[in-house]
Structure 1
Amino acid sequence: MRIRKRFTGFTLVELLVVIAIIGVLIALLLPAVQQAREAARRIQCTNHMKQLGLALHNYHDTYLKFPYNAEPQSANVADRLRGCSWITRILPFVEQTAAYNQMQFVGDWSMQDNSSSNPNYNVLNNYVVDGFYCPSSPLPPTQQRTTKANGTITLQVASYVGVMGSYYKGGTSTTVSPFSPQFNSYGIAVGNGVIVPVGLGANAITMASVVDGTTNTIFAGEQSNYQFDTSGNRKDLRSSGYYGGPWSCGAGTGTWTQNVTTLRYPIGTYGNTGNVDPYNTNISFTSAHPGGMMGALTDGSVRFVPETIDFAIFTALCDRQDGAVVGEY
């Protein structure tokens, strides 16, 4: 008698059902994985900004003032002298002493116009500090710029920007700040914040100058995501995304600036005066974190600032001396 062998296994229908079930499980699991990754990146971003806060305080302990961002530019175009940014000034306090000690504080830090070779070119070319970049950011961490005398340079673009102040009086959303002096080129720059220019009647800020309290005043925020124009085109408007990158203050007091912003528009807002080019003075905050941005307070803490924050509260956070009571956010 012939014995027939019986083969066991999945039928095609059973196999397709199993594959469909696995696909559903993966689809259910993927958002949770993405949320966990974003949570980890947000914690890392928070730590980066905490380091900025520690550097701010250590700088103040050393120099009895907060780092300032700009001095008036000098000389004619071919010999232009433009200073370094507040980010450059805090390098020794974020464990970057080796690079800082190689820098020479002369010449044009923007490298845009000066016909003389810049002594910092070799230091700044391809120099990247990981702590200045938000891990959630989809923006490129570096960019290339053509210098006047040194050819092409690769510069970091930072995710964090100093707060020069608020265009509106703190605690209001429609009353223009009466603070003086104001600087009117490429937007309205108001020095009622913590990271301010010096010269033309302005001085570096001390702890005593933050009369609203360090826990109620933001000194740095995020510019870590694209802005979108009315046609949906992506715009990279980080305030460090121009000549000299995060190391240059721009053209100094009273003209185009870098690495600082004066709050004038809500988070993620594109367009209008001072908010269309990276060297403008009112570039809005942006963030890749869902629902808002991380803000570094002057006491060294970091808080999440939601996109839905009452704008009057936001102006109060950016104005160091308005006397307004900061509400919940």
Structure 2
Amino acid sequence: MTVRTPQRHAFTLVELLVVIAIIGVLIALLLPAVQQAREAARRIQCTNNQKQIGLALHNYHDTYGKLPYNAVPQTGSVGDRQRGPSWLTRILPFVEQSAAYDQFVFTGDWTMQDGPSPNANILGQLRVPGFNCPSSPLPETETQSTNANGDVILQVVNYVGITGSYWQGGTTNVVSPSPQDSSYGDAVYNGMIVPVNTKSNAISLASVTDGTSNTMMVSEQSDFFYDVNRAKITRRSSGHAGRSWGNGGGAGTWTANVTTLRYPIATEGGTGNGANYHVNVALVSAHPGGVLATLGDASVRFVTETVNFATLTGLADRQDGNVLGEF
């Protein structure tokens, strides 16, 4: 008798290509879901970052009776300039950064643009992870050539304080009657993170007559802007001299780490919205569809890009007296 051994067949080329095609289709179907899950996780982390900033602002208020101010008028001339720290610097003890804060000397030029700073070495090493949005494609540090401290690598954050609204809250074409400073745009002090000068003073939560749950303290500048040719533009209020730690030129001049809302979300260009040191740089976010914003009660809300602009101006103005629309 002849015993026949069963023959073993290999995959044909067609079968192999079919298997590869099926795997490719499965990957194509799963990839968007994976990306959405990752973005959801990053958005949760960004929400938590802003929540911690909101709590830090409240703890600062509990300690000093006022919210942190962002600027005082600069003094001195080039070579001996005196410029103060940003509101972000002031809340460092309340975000577990006392080790750095306790070493600071509150004198000199915190922007390091026109004068020396005794804090340059500390600032060059300071990194606060909770001040950057995990979805942001923008660099987290930049090298600055200073007037007297050489090159310093500084953190550049994605969160910005709201000084107020250029338009009276709840309107889109009525210029606010609140005190204004016109330099590199128009800064208005009807918001919550304001300077100290002849037109403004640090505010308490009692001054938020619209209610803390109806007023923004902080929001995002965490993505590129796009011009009419779809070219990427890097612009954020923490991106000029001193980066995250300086208050800009001071009250009544160029600013840093704050903005007066004048344009809808993700708007590129316009008066006061053309450079990092301008005072009306728009809000923009790497999260699809809108920006995260920290309200005066330390809650964090997602504000869509399609929100009624009158509602957005109302959120930025602490004292307009209008009823907010849906957001």
Shorter chain as denominator, the TM-score bin is over 0.9
Asked if the contact 2:223/2:284 (under 8 Å) is kept, the reply is yes
Distance 2:279 2:269 in 1: 12
Distance 1:9 1:300 in 2: 65
Distance 2:11 2:77 in 1: 81
Aligned to 2:48: 47
Deviations 1:117-175 (A, max 9, x none): x2111101032100000000010111111001111110111000000000000000111
Root-mean-square deviation (CA, aligned residues, Å) is 1.0
Which letter maps to 1:64?
A: G
Deviations 1:180-226 (A, max 9, x none): 2x110000000000000001231101111100000000000000000
Aligned to 2:151: 152
Aligned to 2:19: 18
Deviations 1:22-62 (A, max 9, x none): 10000000000000000000000000000011001000000
Percentage identity across paired residues of the two chains? 62
Q: Which of 193, 199, 202 is the equivalent residue of 1:201?
A: 199
Distance 1:123 1:72 in 2: 24
Deviations 1:75-126 (A, max 9, x none): 1122111100000000000010101001111000000111x4x211110103
Q: Which moved more, 1:64-73 or 1:226-235?
A: 226-235
Asked if the contact 2:161/2:219 (under 8 Å) is kept, the reply is yes
Deviation at 1:276, TM superposition (A): 0.7
Q: Secondary structure at the match of 1:201?
A: coil
Distance 1:41 1:201 in 2: 39
Q: Which of 242, 252, 255 is the equivalent residue of 2:253?
A: 255
Distance 1:19 1:218 in 2: 51
Aligned to 2:217: 219
Q: Secondary structure at the match of 2:118?
A: coil
Q: Secondary structure at the match of 1:313?
A: helix
Which letter maps to 1:193?
A: G
Matched, 1:177 2:170: no
Matched, 1:91 2:89: no
Matches within 5 A, 1:25-64: 25-64=26-65
Asked if the contact 1:200/1:253 (under 8 Å) is kept, the reply is no
Distance 2:43 2:127 in 1: 20
Which letter maps to 1:80?
A: R
Q: Secondary structure at the match of 2:291?
A: strand
Asked if the contact 1:71/1:199 (under 8 Å) is kept, the reply is yes
Deviation at 1:8, TM superposition (A): 2.4
Distance 2:269 2:130 in 1: 29
Distance 2:124 2:265 in 1: 31
Distance 2:67 2:155 in 1: 23
Asked if the contact 1:167/1:188 (under 8 Å) is kept, the reply is yes
Q: Which of 261, 271, 284 is the equivalent residue of 1:286?
A: 284
Aligned to 1:125: 124
Aligned to 2:184: 186
- Give unmatched runs, 5+ long, in structure 1: none
TM-score, structure 2 as length reference? 0.98
Asked if the contact 1:222/1:293 (under 8 Å) is kept, the reply is yes
Distance 2:3 2:214 in 1: 90
Distance 1:7 1:100 in 2: 74
Q: Which moved more, 1:226-235 or 1:296-305?
A: 226-235
Q: Secondary structure at the match of 1:84?
A: coil
Asked if the contact 2:145/2:152 (under 8 Å) is kept, the reply is yes
Deviation at 1:235, TM superposition (A): 1.2
Which letter maps to 2:214?
A: N
Asked if the contact 2:79/2:147 (under 8 Å) is kept, the reply is no
TM-score, structure 1 as length reference? 0.97
Q: Secondary structure at the match of 1:148?
A: coil
Aligned to 1:320: 318
Distance 2:267 2:130 in 1: 25
Q: Which moved more, 1:291-300 or 1:7-16?
A: 7-16
